[in-house]
Structure 1
């Protein structure tokens, strides 16, 4: 058994005994595998301030693709169904091997961390935490490989966010419209 598997096993046991342990950050080495690269469906966002998630309230649904970029980057390309429009956007996460699993995102040097969905008992989920140090924004976004979202999954996400006490604002995408097509991927 490798050292990392042993640490993972210890963490799993500790998580049962202490359910508010923080989630496991995923290194770029792990994220650059087929397990994480590919299509994800946006479920919702959490924060400590309504203003931090206000812009998400116009998004009915979103689908993103996570892919390896050039020069040690991770690209998240998304198609957002916002009001009656499909908007394609992309975020670039720069991996500094000395800081991995913490990544910088965009020109503003925002901080991004990708977290294991097993924390909320969802092996098909991915959690992305983004901190914008210059303005204090914090966003924690939930994605799933499955297009359909269960109420139980949303409940688990909200419950785990409650472990941090200050993260008590949520917006779950309503998904009343068709998903937009990701440009350049289909």
Structure 2
């Protein structure tokens, strides 16, 4: 991949994360990356071409972070805890979650599919760890691992929204901690 293409994708990913897809213009990406118009349009004939590459890059980052938290030889519940209670910049928001509200993203399969795929992959990783935890008797068995995985992804995404809306980064951690406690059938709460 050429240096200018890489710079454009990295810069586009950062700006789209900060401002959203619709509010990010090719001109902003060019200015912030230092890449000229000719090079921009050589690599990305349309804004959606850059958007697809930038959103896919942010989606990969989300999946890679989940893989890092949920992989390993530790018991399933330890891996789930590591994912739920991972340090996150709650006030910066999720790199892809906010894009699910952007009409231009929703209307273009090339833009929305990497987001849906990333959340599916994260849920599958969680489901595997939760299934391991259920088999060990460490997680409640009255819900399916898939249902609990969907809950965990939803708690993290909702935690970002509530934390940002109330300007309180601790709310994401509070929500994730409560979700973790609800998984354990032996929790004394």
> For this structure pair, what is the TM-score category when the shorter chain's length is used for normalisation?
under 0.3
Structure with a larger share of its residues in strand: 1
**Alignment TM-score, normalising by the size of structure 2:** 0.25
Q: Which has the higher contact order (CA 8 A, sep 6+)?
A: 1
Higher Rg of the two aligned structures: 2
Structure with a larger share of its residues in helix: 2
